[in-house]
Amino acid sequence: MNPAISVQNVDMVFPAPGGAITALQDVSFDIAEAEFVSLIGPSGCGKSTALRLIADIHQPTGGSVTVAGQSPGQSRIQHLVNLMFQEPVLLPWLNIYQNVSLSIEITKAKDHRDPAELLSFVGLKGREKDYPGQLSGGMQQRVALARALATNPRILLMDEPFAALDEFTRDRMGNWLLSIWERSRKTVVFVTHSIPEALYLSDRVLIMDANPGRIRADVRVELPRPRDESMREEISFFEQLKAIRSQMPKSLYVEEELNGG
């Protein structure tokens, strides 16, 4: 079976007034169908760029990207992929039911899901007629998640989707996401700056480095599924946290370097 996503020897060079920027250099990874993979690394290491290449927003300047065994462009046309951002980006003049429905209307996705069912799925049953301004940040982000699922994509790309939320809400959103992922078995690529979040959610964590952006380590997470909150307190969780931290580029730990640590 084809991997859901295959990135092979990808270079991404952006022209810039001060000289070209190499956002990604010789980046290779495969992601299997229904796998949950996190990308983690310092600001500017090319995490968002990698998602944009998979979503067909950019085309690589070298190497190749395939999505479901075909080009990212073909996969985009077939609505196989959806990208979710840090901010929910909802339309304030539409209620949340209409916000979710709109993506189905725009894409004309044939294999779409029922917006009411999705809003119930993300715990917003009874709030369909509310406007985004009437909801908390976490609720708005759940609407964005429902919208991302509305066109029934096989692959969900999430760019720091919970970064703007407080830690408690972020943990709850992570549990939401896992319960949805366990039921729907989508392929998820999840960008985060939080090592515990990456560990708790993922099957694999790809650690990246900057200047130029590249993959530094590919770590398989050894935690059973389904996951629950108690795992965050287990020794194996802390051990793996430590293992990932030890492989993170030093540029993330400026204070430690200053302190001679």
* Binding site partner of 186, from ligand ATP, Mg ion, none, Cβ cut-off 5-8 A by kind: none
| Cβ atoms of 68 and 4 closer than 8 Å | yes
Stretch that binds Mg ion, among 3-11, 47-55, 198-206, 234-242 (CB under 5 A): 47-55
Q: Quote the CA–CA distance of 160 and 48 in Å, as a whole number.
A: 9
| Cβ atoms of 159 and 84 closer than 8 Å | yes
Q: Quote the CA–CA distance of 72 and 76 in Å, as a whole number.
A: 6
Told to check if 235 binds ligand ATP by CB under 6 A, we report: no
Told to check if 147 binds ligand ATP by CB under 6 A, we report: no
Told to check if 189 binds ligand ATP by CB under 6 A, we report: no
Cα-flanking dihedrals φ and ψ of residue 187, to 5°? -85, 130
Cβ at position 93, least distance to ligand ATP in Å: 29
Find the binder of ligand ATP among 8, 13, 21, 63 (CB under 6 A).
21
Cis? peptide before 212, omega within 30° of 0: yes
Told to check if 17 binds ligand ATP by CB under 6 A, we report: no
Told to check if 88 binds ligand ATP by CB under 6 A, we report: no
Told to check if 38 binds Mg ion by CB under 5 A, we report: no
Cβ at position 27, least distance to ligand ATP in Å: 11
Q: Closest Cα partner for 132 from 164, 92, 101, 99?
A: 92
Told to check if 6 binds Mg ion by CB under 5 A, we report: no
Among residue numbers 194 through 213, which ones bind ligand ATP (CB under 6 A)?
A: 213
**CB of 47 or CB of 154, closer to ligand ATP:** 47
Residue holding tokens 């209307």?
105
CA atoms within 13 A of residue 123's CA, in its CB half-sphere: 15
For residue 134, the SS3 value is helix
**CB of 16 or CB of 106, closer to ligand ATP:** 16
| Cβ atoms of 28 and 10 closer than 8 Å | yes
* Binding site partner of 44, from ligand ATP, Mg ion, none, Cβ cut-off 5-8 A by kind: ligand ATP
For the chain, give the number of residues.
261
Q: Quick one: which H or E segment has residue 183?
A: helix 167-184
- Number of residues interacting with ligand ATP: please give it, by CB under 6 A: 12
Residues of the shown chain interacting with Mg ion in the complex, contacts defined by CB under 5 A:
48
Residues of the shown chain interacting with ligand ATP in the complex, contacts defined by CB under 6 A:
14, 16, 21, 23, 43-49, 213
